[in-house]
Amino acid sequence: FAEDATDATQLDPIVITASKSAEKASEVPARISIIEPKIVEQSPIAELPHLLMSDAAINMVQSGGLGQTSSIFIRGTNSEHALILRDGARLNTASTGAANLAFIDTTDIKQIEILKGPASVLYGTDAIGGVVQIISKTPEKTSAFVTGEIGENKTYKSIVGADLAENGFYAQVRGQRLES
């Protein structure tokens, strides 16, 4: 019995995107990949398009320099056919059909789930190419932080944030400045 207590069991990650309910990744009938928390933590203030480019089914195209519109193409479909969700809320705009990914804060991202292929039955016409679900971290304690990044040609990015967690409720406040 002593050996049984030390055996570790690897659990499947929980996926929410595919069927709008929690399922084990191994039991989801759709093609899904997850950008794990470890990868997100290694680049805490990177732009979201750079994190998404780590998936082979996604092609990102940026129109111009920092802060310009980034288009996401999942499996070759148009960028307005890729639905972007943040904790279940649609980020795609009604005017263009696409989401502006350039200024999405990455400091509180827990993981990113990518459903590749048509998901229009569940999500509507925005999801013909697929769905990107950004899942935020839930603050466990009250805290604050300041972080920054400096680049070439007087480019810098600074982020200030605070988390409040009390009696099972939480709130997050973030602010960022990007200048080049």
Residue 160 burial (C-beta neighbours within 10 Å; 0-12, 13-18, 19+):
middle
Q: Is the pTM of this model over 0.95?
A: no
The pLDDT of residue 49 is 84
28-71: per-residue pLDDT in tens? 767 888 888 888 877 755 778 888 888 888 888 888 777 677 88
3-35: per-residue pLDDT in tens? 555 667 776 666 666 666 677 766 776 788 888
What's the topology of domain 2-136?
Ferric Hydroxamate Uptake Protein; Chain A, domain 1 (2.170.130)
Question: How far is 148 from 144, CA to CA, in rounded Å?
Answer: 14
Domain boundaries of the chain, sorted by first residue: 2-136, 143-179
